Structure 1
Amino acid sequence: MHASPVVFSVLMSLAPPAAALAGLLVLGQALTHIQWLAMVLVVLACGGSGSGAPGAVRAGGWSPTRPSAH
């Protein structure tokens, strides 16, 4: 399976919030208000990063409609 750089970066950005929730649910570790806020902001940013116009050139110059230079 091949994921685009945009999809990969969004999934990698969601790893820390997922780990924090696992720590809360599995280990009973408490999060501070600042940590909850940071987690919500990261998730919102990840959701907003995928909501651009289809075919728009994203950061790094990658476009799903343009072949890669590699």
Structure 2
Amino acid sequence: MREYFAQFGPVKKCLLPFHKETGFHKGFCWVGFTTEEGLNNALQKDPHMLEGAKLQVQKHIRPFVEGPRLSKDAEYD
């Protein structure tokens, strides 16, 4: 996944979660670019195809949460 998205710009982070029991990926991935330009380049291409699968690419917008930051182990409603 990192190699595919590197064609649009430098990739800072790539997280592809896998299901612990089956070993298969969960069907989604987070890719972080080091520049806004890399993100915009990836958003402009449509469709994204990787190994025969069509990928849906979206810009992640973090929700604003007032108060202290929640820990990684916090539960969300």
Higher strand share: 2
Q: The TM-score by the shorter chain falls in which range?
A: under 0.3
TM-score for both structures, normalised by structure 2: 0.22
TM-score for both structures, normalised by structure 1: 0.23
Structure number with the bigger relative contact order (C-alpha 8 A, sep ≥ 6) is 1
